[in-house]
Amino acid sequence: MANKELIQVLTTIVKPYVQDQDAFEHITEETDFINDLKINSAHLIDVVLDIEDHFDITIENEELEKMVSVGAAMALIAEKTK
């Protein structure tokens, strides 16, 4: 999946949990889920579950703390779907 397409999928996944609409409208690979989008920690777990469902992958518990940004999520997804 191309990066542009991947960002679009992630944008759809995170949308219900975002609390900063301005940051959401300018989402990039550098966008931080908590600091920029203001997604709370519990909803970050929801994002992880939604990513698992969409891509049919499993994100291991010890990989949770890697899920800090759009770019980090993209790298993890790319690694698990190649």
Partner 1 sequence: MVGNDIVDLTTSQVTAARKMRFVAKVFNAKERAFLAQGAYQSSDIWTLWAMKESCYKYVVQHGYAKRFNPLDFSCQVAKVGKAQVAINSNYYACSLYTTEAYVYCAIGEDRAITLGGHAVRTSEKAIMDSAELYDYAIRAIEQRYGYKQNSVEIKLDVNRIPRIYVDKQFQPIHLSLSHDGKFGAYLFSSL
The residues of the shown chain that bind partner 1, judged by CB under 8 A, are: 34-35, 40-42, 45-46, 48-49, 61-62, 64-65, 68
Q: Which is nearer to partner 1, 3 or 35 (CB)?
A: 35
Question: Half-sphere exposure of residue 68, counting CA atoms within 13 Å on the CB side?
Answer: 4
Residue number with CB closer to partner 1 (2 or 42): 42
* Least distance CB 36 / partner 1 (angstroms): 11
Residues in the chain: 82
Q: How far is the CB of 47 from partner 1 (least distance, A)?
A: 11
Shortest Cβ distance from residue 33 to partner 1 (Å)? 11
